[in-house]
């Protein structure tokens, strides 16, 4: 939804709710995303015990490793908040700095996910091994794609700010990317709890 992010339709004109069009649009989009992840999580919860001949969840999860990468992702929410705060103070250097750090933390998380997927594949859990495998890779894969899109948005924003090409209100654009980023984080907390921490 990068399109909605950097879109400015109202030039800060008066709106009926007082909330800008972009921000309201982003909130609605995230509301819709809740149902997307709701469907994927439900599918996983139904199928997590159906392992067939393949490995069981408990055998392939490396909970300490995933806890660390989850922590990294959570910390990226903190740096995102710092980026928004800097943007609201019109501090371009601080904004780009914290946006970059957020992107790097996100990239660390995605890197960890790639490592994790590789390790699980080597332990015998492929995408088509079992219903558990398909549901697991689909759910976490969708989340990984969301994080990746977020990283691209963050880094593009850094580039655009540096070249002073942000159309519209810069602080608001940063805040919109922030909303998306926090949402992706929150979803991960739910996924981590349901997928990794609750034993089958």
Partner 1 sequence: MAIIERPAPAGAPALPAPATPTRTYGALRRPVATTGWKSWVFTVDHKKLGIMYGVVAMFFFIVGGIEAVLIRLQLAAPDGKVLSADVYNQMFTMHATTMVFLFVMPMAAAFANYFVPLQIGARDVAFPRINAFGFWTLVGGGIIVNLSWFLGGAADGGWFMYAPNSGPVFSPSNGVDFWALGLQITGIASLTGAVNLIVTVLNMRAPGMSLMRMPVFTWLQLVVQFLLLFAIPVITVALFLLSFQRSFGATFFDVSAGADPLLWQHLFWIFGHPEVYILVLPSFGIISEVLPVFSKKPLFGYPFVVFSGAAIGFVGWGVWAHHMFASGLGPVSVAVFSIATMAIAVPTGVKIVNWTMTLWGGKLNFTAAMHFAIGLVVLFTIGGLSGVTHAVAPSDTQQTDTYYIVAHFHYVLFGGAIFGLFAGFYYWWPKMFGKQLNERLGKANFWLMVIGMNLTFGPMHMIGLQGQPRRMYVWTEARAGEGFFNLAFWNRVASIGSLILTFGVLLFLINVWKTARSKQVAPLDPWDARTLEWMTTSPPKEHNFDAVPTVHHLDEFFHRKYAQDPVTHEIKQVATAEDIVRDQEANADKHIHMPSPSYWPIILAGGLPVIALGIIYAIPVAIVGAAIVVLAIFGWSLEPSTAPDTDFDPPASGDGTKELAPLG
- CA geometry: angle at 10 spanning 4 and 13, to 5°? 145
Tell me the C-alpha distance between 173 and 180, whole Å.
11
Chosen residue from 12, 15, 162, 200 binding partner 1 by CB under 8 A: 15
List Cβ<8 Å contacts ≥24 apart for 46-51: 46/135, 47/131, 47/132, 47/134, 47/135, 48/132, 48/135, 48/136, 48/195, 48/200, 49/132, 49/200, 50/130, 50/131, 50/132, 51/130, 51/131, 51/132, 51/133
Residue 111 in the binding site for partner 1 (CB under 8 A)? no
Contact region with partner 1 (CB under 8 A), list: 58-66, 71-79, 97-105, 128-136: 128-136
> From residue 145 to residue 184, what is the string marking binding to partner 1 with x (rule CB under 8 A)?
-----------x---x----x-xx----------------
- Token code pair at residue 123: 């332990």
Residue 46 in the binding site for partner 1 (CB under 8 A)? yes
To partner 1, the closest distance from the beta carbon of 88 in angstroms equals 21
Residue 32 in the binding site for partner 1 (CB under 8 A)? yes
Dihedral sign from CA coordinates of 99, 8, 22, 139: negative
To partner 1, the closest distance from the beta carbon of 111 in angstroms equals 21
Report the candidate in 186, 172, 180, 184 with the shortest Cα–Cα distance to residue 29.
180
**Which of 34/68 has CB closer to partner 1?**
34
**Which of 16/122 has CB closer to partner 1?**
16
Number of residues that bind partner 1 (CB under 8 A): 45
Interface ranges with partner 1 (CB under 8 A): 2-11, 15-17, 19, 21, 24-25, 28-29, 31-36, 38-40, 43, 46-47, 50, 52, 127-128, 130-131, 134-135, 138, 156, 160, 165, 167-168
């Amino acid at each position: 939804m990068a399109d909605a992010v950097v879109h400015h339709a109202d030039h800060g004109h008066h709106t009926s709710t007082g909330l800008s069009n972009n921000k309201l649009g982003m909130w609605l989009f995230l509301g819709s995303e809740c149902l997307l992840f709701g469907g994927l999580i439900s599918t996983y919860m139904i199928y997590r015990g159906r392992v067939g001949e393949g490995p069981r969840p408990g055998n392939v999860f490396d909970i300490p490793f995933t806890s660390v990468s989850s922590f990294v992702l959570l910390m990226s929410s903190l740096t995102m908040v710092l980026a928004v705060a800097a943007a609201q103070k019109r501090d371009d250097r601080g904004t780009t700095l914290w946006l970059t750090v957020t992107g790097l933390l996100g990239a660390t998380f995605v890197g960890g996910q790639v490592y994790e997927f590789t390790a699980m594949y080597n332990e015998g859990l492929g995408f088509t091994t079992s219903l558990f495998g398909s549901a697991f890779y689909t759910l976490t894969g969708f989340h990984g794609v969301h994080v990746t899109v977020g990283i691209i948005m963050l880094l593009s924003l850094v580039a655009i700010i540096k070249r002073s090409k942000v159309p519209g209100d810069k602080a608001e654009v940063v805040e919109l990317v922030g909303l998306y980023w926090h949402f992706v984080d929150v979803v991960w907390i739910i996924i981590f709890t349901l997928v990794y921490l609750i034993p089958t």
